[in-house]
Amino acid sequence: MTNRCGTQGQSGDGHAVSRPFALEIGVSPDQLRGFDTHVHRRLSALQGQFSAQEAYDKMLPSDPLLYEVYTKQRPEVAGELAHGITILYPGRVGNEFFMTKGHYHALRETAEIYYCLKGRGLLLMETDAGDWAAEEFSPGRMVYVAPCWAHRSINTGGEELILFFAFPGNAGHDYAAIEQRGFRKIVVQRNGSIEVVDNPRWSSAVVR
Ligand code: F6R
Ligand code: ZN
């Protein structure tokens, strides 16, 4: 039986065996240089996700940058770990805090780990079966996304929320379900406090 370890730099399937490496990571720009992809996501990428449509439409012409994602690419196979850093900027659309698009992993039974380097926020999670959870981010805090849970980061603070993440190389991403129906919950500022409330736009329509 072949495996990816092999001998003398060649795995059993003929591909190069991965080498160990180390990276400087952190919250300053020079600690982001070791990553090899860099994605910018603006407000327009979250069409239909914020509950305050009027506030969204007003902000759209300037299309503010909501977050950036730096990733260290790994082979998209089981056994590898893709990893990187998300920088989510502070702000709100109406009373709803800036957030990431959110997704399920295409291979649903894959987990993920987030580790907060800077800022305050929440990781909002839910399952197809109707369960949901919200875990807090603050520096030094880790959140474990269990297999089969969709996840979306939310910046509830006044500064950047900076998160390190790692997930299986073969996980893939499935954005469609969230793009079509959103999350069951939203996170808003009300009377100066942060509240997790029902999403008025959430649709129970089954998405396949
Ligand atoms: C990867 C993962 C994070 C997010 C990133 C941006 O599986 O969960 O790296 O990809 O925080 O969020 P999305 O991908 O939802 O735009
Ligand atoms: Zn993920």
Question: So where are the chain's domains?
Answer: 29-198
pTM, full prediction? 0.95
Q: pLDDT tens digits, residue range 91-138? A: 999 999 999 999 999 999 999 999 999 999 999 999 999 999 999 999
Instruction: Determine the pLDDT at residue 207.
Output: 56
- In tens, the pLDDT along 27-80 reads 999 999 999 999 999 999 999 999 999 999 999 999 999 999 999 999 999 999
Q: Whose alpha carbon is nearest atom 12 of ligand 1? A: 100
Q: How far is the CA of 102 from the centre of ligand 1 (A)?
A: 7
**Strand-pair partners of 152:** 124
Dihedral pair phi/psi, residue 44, rounded to 5°: -60, -20
DSSP per residue, 128-157: TTS-EEEEEE-TT-EEEE-TT-EEEEEE-S
Ligand that lies nearest to the alpha carbon of residue 153, given by its number in the listed order: 1
pLDDT at 100: 98
What is 29-198's CATH topology? Jelly Rolls (2.60.120)
C-alpha of residue 100 to centroid of ligand 2, in Å: 11
Query: In the chain, what percentage of residues exceed pLDDT 70?
Result: 93
Closest by CA to 98, choosing from 184, 187, 173, is: 187
Is the CB of 100 within 6 Å of ligand 1? yes
